[in-house]
Chains A and B, each alone.
Chain A
Amino acid sequence: LAKTTQPISMDSYEGQEVNITCSHNNIATNDYITWYQQFPSQGPRFIIQGYKTKVTNEVASLFIPADRKSSTLSLPRVSLSDTAVYYCLVGGGGGFKTIFGAGTRLFVKA
């Protein structure tokens, strides 16, 4: 199983763009990269998933370089409500033999 490494925490201000990078050196050929968001006292919520290059949805963008050994979640113009823990997962998109690490605690300040 591919292990992921993310920063433990990040601080930002409202209106800024936030980029969270995840390292996954042992990613397998058929692994996808998925990001989840978790608020206190709630279950994780899917944000975005990708295999290579760039993926964008209404919430975030995901950048994946050609070697796929890392990925960057980009949150445009964050607000206070984006304060949460963000998990990078490699492998099954949901939980099928997928390990959640400690995640990155993002704190958005006014």
Chain B
Amino acid sequence: NAGVTQTPKFQVLKTGQSMTLQCAQDMNHNSMYWYRQDPGMGLRLIYYSASEGTTDKGEVPNGYNVSRLNKREFSLRLESAAPSQTSVYFCASNEDRVNTEAFFGQGTRLTVV
């Protein structure tokens, strides 16, 4: 049982480049989330998808777009990367009831130079 899988694990981008972070879960969860974690900080919610076909902004959505491709997959896109987006990105999923355990991926470490 893989749980939540993120790709890639590491990425270095130049300022202005674009890329898409991929996330897939195999637990049949309805809700999926993207967070970023800066050094020594907690996690901040970028975007979430409460169910297939819906997406909403979280705390820090500027500079990002998301796509809920199907129930399993939720991607995060940086259209024009900036050094301020250097961070570790985590994808998570849980059932559609709000007070249920969330499962996190291993993270994508992104550096923008």
Give the dominant DSSP class at A's interface.
loop
Interface residues contributed by chain B, number (CB under 8 Å): 28
Binary CB contact string for chain A from 67 to 110 against chain B (1 if under 8 A, 0 otherwise): 00000000000000000000100011111111111110000000
Q: How far is the CB of B41 from chain A (nearest CB, A)?
A: 6
Nearest CB to that of B105 among chain A residues?
Answer: A43
Q: Indicate with 1 or 0, residue by residue over B73-113, a CB within 8 angstroms of chain A CB atoms.
A: 00000000000000000101110001111111111000000
Complex alpha-carbon distance, A92 and B92, angstroms: 13
- Please list the residues of chain B having a beta carbon within 8 angstroms of any beta carbon in chain A: 4, 31, 33, 35, 40-45, 48, 50, 58-59, 90, 92-94, 98-107
Q: Which one of A92, A96, A98 has the highest number of Cβ atoms from chain B below 10 Å of its Cβ?
A: A96
Q: Which A residues contact B (CB, under 8 angstroms)?
A: 32, 34, 41-46, 49, 87, 91-103
